[in-house]
Amino acid sequence: MVGIRPLVMTLFCFLFVLDYESTRAYAAAQTPSATVDVPVGVILDLQTQPGKKSLISIQMAIEDFYASRPNFTTRVVLHVRDSKQNAVEAASAAVDLMKNTKVAAIIGPVTSEEAEFVAILGSKTQTPVISYSASSASVSVTANPYFVRATIKDSDQSPLLAAIVKYYGWHDIIPVYEDSAYGSGILPSLIDSLQSVDARVPYRTAIAPFASDEHIIASLYHLKTLSSRVFVVHMTPSLASRFFRLAAFTGMVAEGYAWIATDSITNVVDMDGALDLSVMQGVIGVMPHVSKSPELEQFTARWMENPREYEAKPSIFQLWAYDAMQAVALAVEKAFSVSNFQWQRTSSTNGSSSDIAELGIFEGGPALLAAVQDTRFYGVSGDFQLSGGELNPPPFDISNFVGKGGRTVGIWSQTTGICGKLGCSASDSSSANLKALIWPGESTTVPKGWEIPTGGRKLQIAVPVKNGFNEFVNVQRDPWTNSTTVSGYCIDVFDAVMEAMPYSVPYEYIPFKDSAASYDDLVSQVYFKNFDAVVGDATILSNRTGFVDFTLPYTDSGVAMLVPMEPGTNRNYWIFLKPLTTDLWLGTLTFFFFTGLVVWAIEHRINPEFRGRPSDQIGTTLFFVFSTLVFSHREKLESNLSRLVVVIWVFVVLIITSSYTASLTSMLTVRQLQPVTVNIEQLVKSTARVGYQDGSFVYKMLQKFGFTNERLQNYSTPEQYKDAMLNGSNRGGVDAIFDEIPYLKLFMSKYCSKFTMAGRIYKTDGFGFVFPRDSPLVPDVSRAILNVTEGDIMMEIERKWFGDQKPCLPQSEGVSSTSLNFSNFGGLFLITGTVSVFALLIYILVFLRKEWDDVRAATLDAGDRGGSFWDKAAALAKHYDSIKEKRGSGTARGNMEQELSCNGIISEGPQTPISISEMSALNCVSQQTVASGRTSTEEMPTEQFIELRGVEP
């Protein structure tokens, strides 16, 4: 018992002490001054200067972070590993950190190849991997959900590179990239961006990271043989420094070349020894823009005061490393309070420490990853904000390597594009341009982007050897000197275009002598690279553009039909109706009747010429009006109103008859010569033969129209055209020839009187110069064609080869003169109609004023008898038709009334007795009758009265 008691007391004391220590630890954990160490791994290439400098930046970030936040409950403890510039070593270091150190996160590695392995391990163990430098698309955030890219992607700068290409008008770009996952990762986005600005990538070159100088020089010499002179270089700084040194050695960093370096090269331009800038003068570089801020100034000042040997300014990678470390420290503090930062094993602990299968799962990984992705603050590199696990891209600076560093010449952002300064707007044209650049070779002229390949070779330009129409292309060989001379309209145009080019292009003409070949065969020679271009009368066709490129056309376009003219027979018996259209004929007749009606209405009561039976009045009125056509009207007009109407109407008739005569004369004259046919459909249905120019695409066009081979005949010269059409199909010739308008115009300038272009014009694009597909010459030559065709040079060339004689205009089908329509004389009809209406209205008003009492009495009398409106109108018309007596009147009107009264009496019948007094009252008895001794009360038979009047019964 005695021995057991001391043992029990000792055990009790031990438990008491243990409980006290636990209580003190718990109490310490509850106090604000207590902190928890959280291990975080760092994997860097510590054998390189960038790796060492990045470690300093990370350590400074930890010191600054906790110095400004002393009350945080967590403390990040760094565990640094060296990847030794090897992806396997980086993966091994990550396994060691996860399995043995139980880190909560890993910062790094530096390169994309190393980060790809580590990112896979991080996703397997739920350990966030934050890289500030792995920018290649080979490390996918989507495929590795626990990978966080605290830097910009390489693809973020592809739109900027395309914008520079578009800004300077380049079309062919050659990427030169490192032959690795990092180097090739930019290609998909770069090619897509270049295509969006109509640029293409005809070739690309991959340089192995450890390629020998001989291999790089061989690649450069191959690039030198290509026509493109714009290169985009994307590789690590160490390889880029070697590459540019050898490019300068081969003479490619010289005038006429353009080099664009991506941010992987430009980011280290200010680092001592990173690049040999003496061989990179004139290179354009792009890099992320870092705005000046107090945070950046403080960090830079501390960096320069660092006692270590790195005195150069920090690069963008050191800034991103600083911000990435602070983002991790913020996320650790946030996630530690809501998650368990413990590792859970998934298998037994047996095995080596590098056994990946024994890696556990970090339980706090999801919370820490979410906290990192949600972290946002303004750091030394600018606004630190992640989107989809990647850093939002900032604006980019555009630099020009001059002297010992880079000179900023502009800035680019996704919203404003290229600008001369930060914050410019799209509407601010004054700041939309880049500053002046110094190009390779100390040139201030923007490189055009391509050159004729070196070696003294000129462009080999094929020209067709023609047997006819030599005004367009003429190839002659001097038998004494055996030299070949090429001339013609097409040749002079091409020479003028080359002189208008902004740069010199050496070329020489090579005759294409295959007489059996068509123009399709000639054009295909460019596709098969037997020639560099074709200059001549080659037509732009859709089937040809499938394998070659054409410039803009420099001639008229279209295919037309050429036919002979024959004398017209004029067998149209109704041609006299053709000068006037139907509406004009009807309108003229309408105004004839209307004018006659107005004249009759005004003259009826006062002019005996317009009295009598209705049929006589109608005949007199119509004869009067229609006689104005030949100005032979003889009826005497009594009223000034009717005279005014007739004067205006005669003027209208004069204009119409003169125009009618001129139009009819023109029709009868023009129709003396008519085209043989104007309808191709009739030609196809007939058995007539048609012709075309030898070697022309028109042959296939005629076959599509329906002409068989037996009905098609090829010719070469204008003289053959003429003889064939004059002979016709019946005598071995043709009835029509189909050819392009430039040839037909040349033909018509020589044989204008006997032939004409008839029918419709079939659309083509005219003549153009032929170049290989995607040739950089095509846009510049097309622009030069516009300059030539819009000036006086083209007129001089046409006058030289085609003369001053203007080609005949093609005649239209049928009658050439246009028939006159009603609208041509609308103004005249408006005048005569207005005058006639006003004259009639004036006459009616005067009539009503003078005859108002009688008119009113007549209408009232009809109303008293219970008559309708029409009865009143009839009474008014009857009164209008009546003649009021004018006794003792010596005027013409009185004589007319007297004579009408007498005639009315006589018309009652020959046996009607009438007294002398009645006849005397009507002045029907002459002075001789009164002197004969008859009294006024005596009656006289009508026969005797007529005898006295001297009228035959």
CA 626, 631, 635, 637 torsion-angle sign: positive
State residue 925 phi and psi, 5-degree precision.
-105, 130
Structure tokens at 211: 């390629």
| CA–CA gap between residue 494 and residue 769 (Å, rounded) | 8
Please give the C-alpha separations between residue 53 and each of 78, 129, 222, 263, 289, in angstroms, as whole numbers.
16, 20, 38, 18, 20
How do beta strands 174-178 and 205-207 pair? Answer: parallel
| CA–CA gap between residue 948 and residue 927 (Å, rounded) | 10
Which residue from 462, 626, 455 is spatially nearest to 531, judged by alpha carbons? 462
Which residue from 555, 936, 545 is spatially nearest to 743, judged by alpha carbons? 555
| CA–CA gap between residue 51 and residue 450 (Å, rounded) | 40
How do beta strands 36-44 and 106-107 pair? Answer: parallel
Mean pLDDT lowest for which of 201-205, 238-242, 642-646, 671-675?
A: 671-675
Q: Interhelix angle for 826-850 vs 852-864, to 10°?
A: 80
Q: What is the dihedral of CA 240, 243, 248, 252, to 10 degrees?
A: -100
Q: In this predicted model, what pLDDT tens digit does every residue of 276-288 receive, in sequence order?
A: 889 999 999 999 9
Please report the pLDDT score of residue 263 as a whole number.
93
- Average pLDDT over every residue of 904-931: 42
For residue 862, what pLDDT band results from cuts at 50, 70 and 90? Answer: low
3-state secondary structure of 258: strand
Q: What is the dihedral of CA 183, 189, 193, 199, to 10 degrees?
A: 50
Please report the pLDDT score of residue 575 as a whole number.
76
- Average pLDDT over every residue of 224-242: 92
Please report the pLDDT score of residue 780 as a whole number.
87
Mean pLDDT lowest for which of 12-21, 63-72, 137-146?
A: 12-21
Q: Please list, in sequence order, all residues whose beta carbon lies within 8 angstroms of the beta carbon of residue 379, skipping any fewer than 6 positions away.
A: 295, 319, 322, 323, 326
Residue 24 pLDDT more than 60?
Answer: no
DSSP 378: E
| CA–CA gap between residue 826 and residue 839 (Å, rounded) | 20
For residue 812, what pLDDT band results from cuts at 50, 70 and 90? Answer: very low
Please report the pLDDT score of residue 152 as a whole number.
93
Structure tokens at 527: 């596709």
| CA–CA gap between residue 769 and residue 773 (Å, rounded) | 12
| Contact indicator for 300, 314 with CB cutoff of 8 Å | yes
Which residue from 508, 503, 520 is spatially nearest to 461, judged by alpha carbons? 508
| CA–CA gap between residue 410 and residue 428 (Å, rounded) | 14
Determine how many CB atoms are found less than 10 A away from the CB of residue 523. Answer: 23
Please report the pLDDT score of residue 301 as a whole number.
87
Determine how many CB atoms are found less than 10 A away from the CB of residue 199. Answer: 20
- Average pLDDT over every residue of 161-174: 93
Which residue from 80, 72, 83 is spatially nearest to 113, judged by alpha carbons? 83
Please give the C-alpha separations between residue 506 and each of 451, 460, 474, 532, in angstroms, as whole numbers.
11, 9, 21, 12
Please report the pLDDT score of residue 232 as a whole number.
97
| CA–CA gap between residue 580 and residue 852 (Å, rounded) | 46
Which residue from 256, 214, 254, 253 is spatially nearest to 233, judged by alpha carbons? 253
Q: In this predicted model, what pLDDT tens digit does every residue of 746-781 receive, in sequence order?
A: 888 888 878 888 888 888 888 999 999 888 889 889
Which residue from 147, 41, 58, 35 is spatially nearest to 100, judged by alpha carbons? 41
| Contact indicator for 553, 782 with CB cutoff of 8 Å | no
Mean pLDDT lowest for which of 119-133, 370-384, 711-725, 843-857?
A: 843-857
Structure tokens at 391: 């850093």
Residue with tokens 């004589």: 895
3-state secondary structure of 940: strand
Question: In terms of pLDDT, which residue wins out, 596 or 102?
Answer: 102
CA 917, 920, 922, 925 torsion-angle sign: positive
Please report the pLDDT score of residue 350 as a whole number.
52
Mean pLDDT lowest for which of 41-55, 106-120, 400-414, 932-946?
A: 932-946
| CA–CA gap between residue 536 and residue 559 (Å, rounded) | 17
| CA–CA gap between residue 708 and residue 699 (Å, rounded) | 10
Q: In this predicted model, what pLDDT tens digit does every residue of 78-115 receive, in sequence order?
A: 999 999 989 999 999 999 999 999 999 999 898 999 99
For residue 17, what pLDDT band results from cuts at 50, 70 and 90? Answer: very low
Please report the pLDDT score of residue 934 as a whole number.
42
DSSP 290: -
Structure tokens at 371: 């906290």
Most confidently modeled of 212-216, 578-582, 825-829?
A: 212-216
Please give the C-alpha separations between residue 301 and each of 50, 135, 304, 749, 779, in angstroms, as whole numbers.
19, 28, 5, 85, 53
| CA–CA gap between residue 193 and residue 439 (Å, rounded) | 24
Q: Please list, in sequence order, all residues whose beta carbon lies within 8 angstroms of the beta carbon of residue 33, skipping any fewer than 6 positions away.
A: none
Please report the pLDDT score of residue 380 as a whole number.
94
| Contact indicator for 40, 78 with CB cutoff of 8 Å | yes
Determine how many CB atoms are found less than 10 A away from the CB of residue 346. Answer: 12
Residue 914 pLDDT more than 50?
Answer: no
Mean pLDDT lowest for which of 379-393, 535-549, 868-882?
A: 868-882
| Contact indicator for 617, 600 with CB cutoff of 8 Å | yes
Residue 745 pLDDT more than 80?
Answer: yes
Question: In terms of pLDDT, which residue wins out, 870 or 483?
Answer: 483
Structure tokens at 729: 């199909």
Q: In this predicted model, what pLDDT tens digit does every residue of 244-289 receive, in sequence order?
A: 999 999 999 999 999 999 999 998 887 777 788 899 999 999 999 9
| Contact indicator for 328, 385 with CB cutoff of 8 Å | no
| Contact indicator for 556, 764 with CB cutoff of 8 Å | no
What pTM did the predictor assign?
0.61
For residue 19, what pLDDT band results from cuts at 50, 70 and 90? Answer: very low
Residues facing 675 on adjacent strands: 565
CB-based burial of residue 696 (10 Å sphere; 0-12 exposed, 13-18 middle, 19+ buried)?
buried
| Residue 232 host element (H or E) | strand 230-234
Residue 466 pLDDT more than 70?
Answer: yes
| Contact indicator for 342, 364 with CB cutoff of 8 Å | yes
Residue 1 pLDDT more than 60?
Answer: no
- Average pLDDT over every residue of 171-197: 93
To the nearest whole percent, how much of the chain has pLDDT over 70? 80
How do beta strands 376-379 and 382-387 pair? Answer: antiparallel
Residues in the chain: 953
501: amino acid identity, one letter:
M
Residue with tokens 């640029």: 199
For residue 15, what pLDDT band results from cuts at 50, 70 and 90? Answer: very low
For residue 505, what pLDDT band results from cuts at 50, 70 and 90? Answer: confident
| CA–CA gap between residue 167 and residue 330 (Å, rounded) | 43
- Average pLDDT, rounded, for the chain: 81
Please give the C-alpha separations between residue 4 and each of 1, 8, 14, 18, 468, in angstroms, as whole numbers.
5, 6, 16, 21, 134
| Contact indicator for 528, 474 with CB cutoff of 8 Å | no
Please report the pLDDT score of residue 893 as a whole number.
44
Please give the C-alpha separations between residue 637 and each of 596, 606, 951, in angstroms, as whole numbers.
12, 9, 28
